[in-house]
Amino acid sequence: MAQVGGNAEPSDLIYGLHTIREALRAGTRPLQRILVLRTDRQFGDLVQAAKRKQIPVHIEPPPAFDRLVPNGRHQGVIAFVAAKSYDTTEQILDRANTRGEKPFLVLLDGVEDPHNLGAVLRTAEAAGVHGVFIPERRAVGLTSVVAKVSAGALDHISVGRVGNLIRLIQDLKEAGLWVYGVDPQAEKLYTDIDMTGPIALVLGGEGEGIRPGVLGECDDRIRIPMQGRVQSLNVSAAAAVMLFEVVRQRRKDVVPPAKATES
């Protein structure tokens, strides 16, 4: 049984059988996941409608519902509404191709703090990242807090949501990308690798960092040298360091436009 992942404000939730059935039918609101008490006849049509739209459905115990909706009017079903629709892997890679650029992606493993996700999205958009991927479970989604912290960046950057980060990494490697895990225990420094080609950077969430299985699927591991007593940076700070190293390397060989001369 899945844990209730991420954080939500009241404005990020809708609940009740009729409300969520109508939201699924209309398709005007991006639902990021649905929680149900059971998958029996009472919820069966709703669960099937969600699966047809590829919206994850998680079975949760009653205390999870009572915590999210204390007044008890949830009727055993709650949906998390995203601040923006998610893009597919194909759409994100096509974005790089359309721009005539080599793919530049960020994968986040288990970032649960909406302030961290919002800050990473803001930095990623500023650095020209083509897309940021987040997992479906044990990670915050695109909540209103994330949108606010991103300071408008969410409206200009693609975000993908995947059920399996390991499978995503495998697919990206098959598509010709090099995937690097940012790991404080790595031997190589982030400045020692060539980031000018198609690349995806994996950063871990608060506390545990990148999970071993995800880290093991990466092509290599890199680290940021730490000169003080702390062993690692906050994920949003680490993202800023890493992403603008990619910007620096990719701009190094760019010939600046010639200045106009007076006639």
The pLDDT assigned to 230 comes to 81
Contact 133, 214 (CB under 8 A): no
- Average pLDDT value for the chain: 89
The pLDDT assigned to 135 comes to 94
Q: Which domains can be identified in the chain, with CATH numbers?
A: 10-81 (3.30.1330.30), 89-251 (3.40.1280.10)
Q: pTM value?
A: 0.79
Residue with tokens 């997992």: 135
In tens, the pLDDT along 52-108 reads: 988 989 999 999 898 888 877 888 999 988 888 899 999 999 999 999 999 999 999
Distances from the Cα of 106 to the Cαs of 28, 45, 127, 130, 168, in angstroms? 28, 36, 11, 8, 12
The pLDDT assigned to 254 comes to 60
Question: Which DSSP string do the residues of 137-153 spell out, in sequence order?
Answer: SSS--S-HHHHHHTTTG
Contact 205, 112 (CB under 8 A): yes
Q: Which of 72-76, 123-127, 217-221, 250-254 has the lowest mean pLDDT?
A: 250-254
The share of the chain scoring above pLDDT 70, in percent, equals: 92
The pLDDT assigned to 2 comes to 38
Type and span of the H or E element at 78 = strand 77-81
Tokens of 253: 């060989």
The Cα 253–Cα 248 span in angstroms is 9
In tens, the pLDDT along 149-202 reads: 999 999 999 999 999 999 999 999 999 999 999 999 999 999 999 999 999 999
**Is the alpha carbon torsion for 213, 209, 152, 124 positive or negative?**
negative
Contact 143, 83 (CB under 8 A): yes
Q: Which of 1-5, 25-29, 36-40, 206-210 has the lowest mean pLDDT?
A: 1-5
Type and span of the H or E element at 40 = none
- Asked if the model's pLDDT at residue 126 lies above 60, the reply is yes
Q: How many residues does the chain have?
A: 263
- Give every CB contact of residue 213 below 8 A, 6+ residues apart in sequence: 166
Residue with tokens 């690798």: 193
The pLDDT assigned to 168 comes to 98
- Asked if the model's pLDDT at residue 263 lies above 70, the reply is no
- Asked if the model's pLDDT at residue 262 lies above 60, the reply is no
- Asked if the model's pLDDT at residue 245 lies above 70, the reply is yes
Q: Which of 7-11, 24-28, 134-138 has the lowest mean pLDDT?
A: 7-11
Residues 134-143 have a mean pLDDT of: 89
The pLDDT assigned to 149 comes to 93
Type and span of the H or E element at 47 = helix 41-52
